Amino acid sequence: MPARHPSGRKWRFTREPYFLVAELSYEQIRGFLPRWYGISIPLGKGTASASAVRTQQLIDELLAATQKNEAVRHLAGTPLLLTLMAIMLQNGTRLPERRVELYQAVTKTLLESRNEIKSLPRLYEDEAIQRLGKLAFTMQGVGNNLAHRAKVEACSSYGYPCSAAERARQDRPGGAGR
């Protein structure tokens, strides 16, 4: 039987190993946060009890946000997004009320902080949109969430068209050119 995407479509790359990460339950989120904050909050100059108080404040704030806001609850079910929300709170960033604002804040955190942590040049949101917007739009248009490295690299170059139709338009006489 061929491997299938959760939507029921056949996987495009059936010979490649893949894993689906199940959404975290509220109990799993409650179990994750103390462990994560326990590791990520340094003792520093404060006492262990001050760190414990700060840890509990952050846990309570994030759990309250998941109970108050369905979008936050849904996003917190994804381990990566839960971790990013925990980082946002730890860094003093307020969790937005609306899903679109939360996605924007998480995206900005990912784009700008990830490269900095890895000692790579910082990638700002507007630059990422300019470089990868066409690729994302093309992938959404065809219902595909996978892209070959060459396609990503091609689309991340400024001004390079992602879709075959766009490339053909630009290659015609009088087209935009490359």
Q: What is the pLDDT of residue 9?
A: 58
pLDDT for 78 equals 87
Cα(170)–Cα(157) distance, integer angstroms: 15
- The predicted pLDDT at position 112 comes to 72
At 34 the pLDDT is 93
pLDDT means over runs of 10, the chain (178 residues): 52 63 90 90 67 90 92 87 88 79 77 75 78 78 73 63 52 48
Angstrom distance (rounded) from CA 39 to CA 48: 12
> Please, are residues 100 and 72 in contact by the beta-carbon 8 Å criterion?
no
How confident is the model at residue 87, as a pLDDT?
86
